[in-house]
Structure 1
Amino acid sequence: MIDIDPNGTGLPGIEQLRVIVGAVMTVGLILSVLALIISAIIWGFGANSSNPHLAARGKLGVLVSCAAAVICGASVTLINFFWNVGQTV
């Protein structure tokens, strides 16, 4: 039986890589909020100007930005969940 676990100290620079990944997650969340605000404005302009194409694009942008925020925010939990599922196989 082979028992291998992730080694957090095996390579130099692992701690810096964790800091970089955390910063990228923060930037992703900030950009998701910005995209949500812009998409909501576009949706409002489309709805108020009787432009269904613009309103539909705004709705899609709101959904995509919300999904991106969920993925960025839950990425660590998702990875840990699938890691644990993989360990039981």
Structure 2
Amino acid sequence: MIDIAPNTNGLPGIAALQSVVGALMTVGLICAVLGVIVSAIIWALGANSSNPQLAGRGKSGVLVALGAAIICGASVAAVNFFWNVGQTV
């Protein structure tokens, strides 16, 4: 029987790589918040100026930014979930 598990000591720089990935997740979440704010402003401008095209793009931008935030926030949980599912096969 083969028993292989993730090894955090196997290669040099793993701790630095984890730190970089955490920093990239932070940047992604900050950009998602900025996207929601900018898209909400565009949505409001489009709605107040009777411009349905601009309002529609603002709505789409809000949804895309929220989706990006969900993906950034849930990525670790999703990978861990599928890792655990894969271990039971």
TM range (shorter): over 0.9
- RMSD of aligned Cα (Å): 0.7
The TM-score normalised by the length of structure 2 is 0.97
- For residues 16-72 of structure 1, the C-alpha deviation after alignment (integer angstroms, 9 at most, x for no partner) is 000000000000000000000000000000111111111110000000000100111
The TM-score normalised by the length of structure 1 is 0.97
List alignment gaps of at least 5 residues for structure 1: none
Paired with 1:82 and 1:49, the residues of 2 have a C-alpha distance of: 47
Identity %: 71
Aligned-pair CA distance for 1:74: 1.2
How many residues were matched structurally?
A: 89
1:1-89 equivalence runs, <5 A? 1-89=1-89
Paired with 1:85 and 1:49, the residues of 2 have a C-alpha distance of: 51
Paired with 1:65 and 1:86, the residues of 2 have a C-alpha distance of: 30
Q: Which runs of 4+ in 1 moved over 4 A?
A: none
List alignment gaps of at least 5 residues for structure 2: none
Paired with 1:85 and 1:63, the residues of 2 have a C-alpha distance of: 30
